[in-house]
């Protein structure tokens, strides 16, 4: 595959050729190893899966899937392109965030003309079914993934951020000042593409580069604007299955450059230029005049206030990263408390790296843990490692005793702009983790029981965002 690397680093025309050759390489690989592929066919009915993994291929702007098979050690089936996935132009379009709910996967698509070329979304049936037994679930891998509906045109506003609240998707439509709500549980089994598209309901709220939090029937959408009047603006819009073009009310954060929002414990948290702002939803659910914006200071360095850019929710806590290099830390907020404060765990990141891509999972051996990667550009000489933080060592539900558990070695990152970061996903039961490393296209399978690697494989493409759906179960 070395020839593909050289093509991908050449001129755009050659990179497009590299995309075609990549597809040929996958097909040739399947033909050359036909007997072996048939023997390990994840849909043969003779295997069991640990989870199903979806990979974004950065170079070709396409989506592939593979099953992590329940072998010893676990291994990936041959990656395959999702059936019906649209052929995008990798020179003009890119895949952005994706999320899973109710056995379905939504993927955002962005273009290079502020949404005036072809942007929007793709909805996929994962082929994985969950049988819920309250205290546990049974999983069945009934079919190969396939596209259910696609919405790509010049009217989707060039989405970047995608959220899932209460198993409902919310896709930010940056350039048209709003967001799209799509409830996968409301899609009938026999719905065709047109019927699914009709369920995607647009709401007005936010602008520029929208981040979004939903609490109850209210969505809070942020603005990214150079206009002083809107630089700190947050819109509150009532969500409805049929959409809503009226903003209920708006209010101002304490500072601008808003980039991050989430809801937990009856509160909504925002990531402005300095620290963290938050509101109490019940006390702010009627009008701007009733909205009190509280603030949490994260400290500063060289007169530059620390900020965060994204949040992660786990068991009533809001988790985030802040600081730089050796001053980097994992922050935790217990959103269930009336008066919130920040709990910190130092990460001691190399000065040339940046704490990135936190992933949380609840384990039998360690309780809840968070993995934080120390990412950097590929040409930077810095350790390829991740910090593992144990959130609740005494397992009393209080994270004030959180501690750095260990560091693990991982493959290289390849940070370029917003991309090139590691990704970590786990099966539904939290037994195995899969870590993708875009610097060398490797995938490491980790046992969560002892945090030790079980296997490492190399993908025939450079992985971007990754999502896993399902737990151990039969492949039918």
Closest C-alpha to 386, from 355, 431, 361: 355
Q: Are residues 126 and 148 in the same domain?
A: yes
Q: Are residues 413 and 455 in the same domain?
A: yes
Q: What are the backbone dihedrals phi and psi of residue 30, each rounded to the nearest 5 degrees, phi first?
A: -65, -40
Q: Are residues 31 and 94 in the same domain?
A: no
**Could you tell me the residue range of the domain that residue 409 belongs to?**
47-81+347-476
**Distance in angstroms between the alpha carbons of the first and the last residue of the chain:** 33
Domain boundary among 258, 290, 309: 258
Q: Are 16 and 90 in contact (CB under 8 A)?
A: yes
Looking at the domain assignment, is residue 416 inside a domain?
yes
Which residues in 108-119 are b (16+ Cβ under 10 Å) and which e? bbbbeeebebbb
Task: Look at residue 19 in the predicted model and tell me its pLDDT.
Answer: 34
Q: Are residues 28 and 66 in the same domain?
A: no
Closest C-alpha to 327, from 305, 309, 294, 360: 305
Q: Are residues 60 and 166 in the same domain?
A: no
Q: What are the backbone dihedrals phi and psi of residue 400, each rounded to the nearest 5 degrees, phi first?
A: -65, -15
What is the SS3 assignment for 288?
helix
Looking at the domain assignment, is residue 218 inside a domain?
yes
Task: Look at residue 290 in the predicted model and tell me its pLDDT.
Answer: 80
Domain boundary among 207, 235, 258: 258
Say how far apart CA 153 and CA 155 lie, in whole Å: 6
Task: Look at residue 2 in the predicted model and tell me its pLDDT.
Answer: 30
pTM of the model: 0.89
Q: Are residues 65 and 100 in the same domain?
A: no
Closest C-alpha to 177, from 220, 113, 214, 221: 221
Task: Look at residue 284 in the predicted model and tell me its pLDDT.
Answer: 79
Say how far apart CA 352 and CA 41 lie, in whole Å: 43
Task: Look at residue 341 in the predicted model and tell me its pLDDT.
Answer: 96
Q: Are residues 56 and 119 in the same domain?
A: no
Say how far apart CA 169 and CA 187 lie, in whole Å: 12
Looking at the domain assignment, is residue 295 inside a domain?
no
Residues 6+ apart with CB under 8 A from 298: 274, 275, 276, 305, 306, 307, 308, 322, 323, 331, 342
Looking at the domain assignment, is residue 342 inside a domain?
no
Looking at the domain assignment, is residue 277 inside a domain?
no
Task: Look at residue 9 in the predicted model and tell me its pLDDT.
Answer: 32
Task: Look at residue 135 in the predicted model and tell me its pLDDT.
Answer: 82
Looking at the domain assignment, is residue 145 inside a domain?
yes
Task: Look at residue 321 in the predicted model and tell me its pLDDT.
Answer: 98
Q: Are residues 165 and 252 in the same domain?
A: yes
Number of domains in the chain: 3
Task: Look at residue 26 in the predicted model and tell me its pLDDT.
Answer: 40
Say how far apart CA 357 and CA 365 lie, in whole Å: 22
Q: Are residues 35 and 149 in the same domain?
A: no
Q: Are residues 123 and 63 in the same domain?
A: no
Q: Are residues 74 and 188 in the same domain?
A: no
Say how far apart CA 99 and CA 102 lie, in whole Å: 11
Say how far apart CA 149 and CA 422 lie, in whole Å: 29
Looking at the domain assignment, is residue 157 inside a domain?
yes
Q: Number of C-alpha atoms within 13 angstroms, CB side, residue 379?
A: 1
Residues 6+ apart with CB under 8 A from 397: 315
Q: Are residues 130 and 217 in the same domain?
A: yes
Looking at the domain assignment, is residue 89 inside a domain?
yes
Task: Look at residue 471 in the predicted model and tell me its pLDDT.
Answer: 96
- pLDDT digit string, tens, across residues 419-445: 899 999 999 999 999 999 999 999 999
E strand residue ranges, 335-378: 342-346, 354-363, 367-375
Which contacts (CB < 8 Å, 24+ apart) does range 302-308 have? Answer: 305/273, 305/274, 305/275, 306/274, 306/275, 307/257, 307/271, 307/272, 307/273, 307/274, 307/275, 308/260, 308/271, 308/276
Q: Which parts of the chain sit beneath pLDDT 50?
A: 1-46
Task: Look at residue 33 in the predicted model and tell me its pLDDT.
Answer: 35
Helices (H) and strands (E) in the chain, counts: 4, 38
Domain boundary among 223, 258, 293: 258
């Amino acid at each position: 595959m070395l020839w593909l690397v050289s093509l991908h680093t050449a001129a755009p025309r050659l990179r497009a050729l590299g995309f075609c050759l990549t597809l040929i390489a996958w097909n040739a690989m399947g033909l050359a190893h036909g007997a072996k592929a048939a023997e390990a066919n994840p849909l043969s009915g003779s295997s069991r899966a640990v989870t199903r993994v979806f990979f974004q291929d950065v170079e070709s702007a396409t989506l592939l899937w593979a099953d992590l098979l329940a072998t010893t050690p676990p291994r990936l089936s041959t990656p395959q392109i999702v059936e019906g996935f649209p052929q995008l132009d990798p020179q003009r379009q890119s895949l952005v965030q994706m999320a899973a709910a109710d056995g379905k996967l939504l993927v955002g698509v962005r273009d290079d003309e502020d949404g005036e070329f072809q942007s929007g979304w793709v909805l996929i049936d994962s082929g994985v079914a969950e049988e819920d037994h309250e205290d546990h679930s049974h999983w069945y891998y009934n079919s190969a993934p396939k596209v259910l509906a696609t919405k790509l045109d010049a009217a989707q506003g060039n989405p970047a951020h995608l959220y899932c609240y209460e198993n409902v998707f919310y896709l930010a439509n940056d350039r048209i000042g709003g967001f799209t709500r799509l409830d996968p549980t409301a899609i009938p089994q026999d719905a065709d593409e047109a019927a699914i598209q009709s369920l995607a309901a647009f709401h007005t709220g936010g602008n520029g580069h929208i981040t979004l939090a939903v609490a109850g029937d209210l969505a809070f959408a942020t603005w990214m604007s150079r206009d002083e009047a809107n630089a700190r603006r947050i819109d509150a819009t009532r969500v409805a299955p049929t959409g809503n073009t009226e903003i209920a009310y708006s209010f101002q954060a304490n500072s601008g450059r808003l980039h991050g929002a989430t809801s937990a414990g009856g509160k909504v948290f925002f990531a402005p230029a300095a620290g963290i702002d938050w509101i109490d939803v019940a006390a702010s659910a009627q009008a701007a005049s009733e909205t009190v914006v509280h603030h949490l200071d994260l400290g500063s360095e060289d007169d530059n206030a620390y900020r965060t850019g994204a949040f992660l929710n786990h068991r009533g806590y809001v988790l985030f990263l802040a600081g730089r290099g050796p001053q980097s830390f994992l922050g935790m907020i217990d959103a269930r408390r009336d008066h919130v404060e920040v709990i910190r765990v130092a990460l001691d990141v190399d000065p040339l790296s940046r704490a990135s891509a936190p992933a949380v999972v609840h384990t039998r051996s360690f309780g809840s843990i968070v993995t934080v990667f120390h990412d950097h550009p590929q040409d930077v000489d810095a350790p390829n490692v991740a910090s593992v933080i144990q959130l609740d060592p005494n397992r009393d539900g209080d994270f004030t005793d959180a501690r750095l558990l260990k560091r693990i070695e991982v493959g290289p990152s390849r940070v370029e702009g917003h991309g090139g970061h590691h990704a970590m996903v786990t099966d539904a039961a939290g037994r195995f983790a899969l870590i993708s490393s875009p610097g060398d296209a490797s995938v490491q399978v980790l046992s969560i029981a002892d945090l030790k690697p079980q296997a490492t494989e190399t993908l025939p493409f450079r992985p971007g965002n990754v999502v896993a759906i399902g737990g151990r179960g039969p492949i039918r």
